[in-house]
Each structure stands twice: as C-alpha cells, then as structure tokens.
Amino acid sequence: MIDLDDPKVYRELDPADMRERIRELPRQCLKAWQQALEFELPPGHANINKVVILGMEGSAIGGDLLGSLVAAECNSLISVIRDYNLPAYVDGNTFIIASSYSGMTEETLSSFTRALSTPAGKMVMTTGGKLKALAEENAIPVFTIDYVAQPRAALAYSFIPLLGICQRLGLLSSKTGEVKEMAQVLENLQNTVNDTCPTTQNPAKQLAARLYDHLAIIYGAGILSPVAQRWKTQINENSKAWAFYEVFPELNHNAVVGYEFPAELAQTAFVVLLRSQHLHPRTLIRYDVIADVLSRSGVNHETLDGSGESALSQMMSLILFGDWVSYYLALLYETDPSPVKVIDYLKKRLSEA
C-alpha cells in the first residue's frame, strides 16, 4: 500500500496540489464571510419568506448546509433546486441565489433564465461564464468568486456567503462569532489531519487506510445530513470510488433491515457514522444502537464526532476531516484527486446533443 508519509507520493500523484486547497479551507471561510458582509444586496427584500438556491454538485451543497444549519432558527423556507425548472412557489417574496462556480452549469442556467421573468429578488454567485454575463445583462448583483480551484474545493464560497447573505437579509441573527470560532477549530484540526502529520498520529490517514478496498457508506443526521452527502460526493470525485450516504432516523426504518444480504457485502462495506452533540437526544441513542447492530452484523464501522462548540464548527470540522480522508484515499488508490474525467465526458456528450 502507498506510504502516506512519503512526500514523494504527494508530488507524483497530486500535481494540481489539491492538498493545498484543503489546507486553505479555514482562510477561505474567513475571506468569504468578510466578502459576504461587504456585498451590495439588491433593494426591496423586506418581506422575504423563501430563499431558493439554484445549483448543482459542489455549488449546491452550500445551500444544503445552510438549510440544515439554520432550520431551527430561520422562519423562511430555504430550498435547493438541482434541476432545469423553477418551482411554482417562486413569487415576489422569494429571494433567488443562482450558484455556479464555473457559470456554465446548464441546469442552473436554465432555471435562472426562468427566474428572470419572476418578481423574485435575485443574485448570482460565480467566477464568470454565461451566468455572470446573463446576470449583468439584467442588472442583477453578482458575488464574484475569486478563488481558483475545482468547484468542490471552493466549498467556503458556496456556503459561507449564503450564511452571510441570509444574515444581511434579516433572516438570521449575527453569525460572526460562530464563523470566527469555526475558523479557529478548523485551524486546530489541521494540525492533526494534514499531510505533514504522520499516519501513527493522523486519524484521517488511518480511516482512509481502513476504507481502502471497501464500499464507503456514510451515516449522518440533522445538521450532519448534508455533511454525510458531502463525504459521499468527495469520495466519488476525489477518490474515484463508490460511496453512499444515509440519514438518521430514516435509515432505522429501512436500511438496517438490509444488512443481512448479500452476506459478502458485510465484509466489503465500511460505515462511517458522523455524530454531533447538537443532534436530538433520541437520535444520539440511535447512533449507539446502530453501532451495536453493525457489530452484530459483522460490518466494519467507525463513529466520528464534530469538534468545537457551535453547530457550524461541528459541521465544518467533519467536512474538513472528510475532505482529507477522501484525498488520502485517492492517493491509496494511486489516482490524481483533481480531475473528474467522467463528468467532463458527460458534459461533452450533453453539449453535442
């Protein structure tokens, strides 16, 4: 197996330096937060009761994280639309945020074009492309992302500005203190999970080794449901590996029954349970019970707890941990974590059609 403590491995298998993008996450968050606080919002947003985020893949996960994080505080409906169409409930009390890192995502372009004919408030988050041009043609504010990376490595710019914008819209209380705490928690976590920390002391490298040649299944709940999804997509795109995710308490009503067959899968699967002290007490009991059921079923598993005090810190610390795990798993599979050739091929075929 690849030696994750060998510096040569990183030079050879990571020419685009994805590890540096992961290292930058705490600084990305602080910069994105400040830019969101300084961003000039469109006028006329006093009566917003719905926030609709248009996006796909890495540009949409920020909306999922936002909705999950503020569900108990925000009285406005927050929804993420991953489609060509726009929901019928969009009206003058809706604020639409079209998020596409490249500005070329066809589903987002389609739904945003439909949004132009609605009375909803609108803004765009992108690096450029057709989406930025379309917004500028229609005098719609553009939050320009000035960070060059794979879209999935720019998570701070698809999530943190949404938090700031909702605060600016008056939908949330001030999150400045939570953002600062979260950035410090991430900086502290980096010391134990980044590539310079040896495997014997690095829990992310150790988990990646246990996931090697296994089917990764990620469990989350509540605020960690989109975090489990993020783990799944990072393992797909960085590690080029199969992965799935499930959420509590729903998985207790179906997935647990499926541990029995096929029997061979029990030896292949590895379940990672993402846990937070901010989850419902009854849900936390379910974690313990499911860990016992998995052990009885002969399924490898591990439980990871979020770091920090706030829900935001716990979410983002588990995201950072998962990003490193997916990165190390890519190296163990001896594959470059940056390119996504199959997605590029799919987009090419769609453009030809």
φ/ψ (deg, to 5) at 34: -65, -40
Distance CA(107)–CA(274), nearest Å, equals 31
Strands (E), 20-107: 50-54, 77-81, 94-100
- The answer to whether residue 253 is catalytic is yes
Q: Give the amino acid at 124.
A: V
SS3 348: helix
Q: Are 124 and 97 in contact (CB under 8 A)?
A: yes
Q: Among the options 57, 237, 240, 246, which is catalytic? A: 237
Within 8 A by CB and 6+ apart from 22, the residues are: 153, 194, 320, 323, 324, 327
- The answer to whether residue 347 is catalytic is yes
Q: Are 39 and 161 in contact (CB under 8 A)?
A: yes
Helix (H) or strand (E) holding 10: helix 7-13
Q: Among the options 253, 264, 341, 352, which is catalytic? A: 253
Q: Is the four-CA dihedral 74, 37, 64, 125 of positive or negative sign?
A: positive
Distance CA(84)–CA(54), nearest Å, equals 9
Within 8 A by CB and 6+ apart from 173, the residues are: 73, 167
Which active-site residues does the annotation give? 237, 253, 347
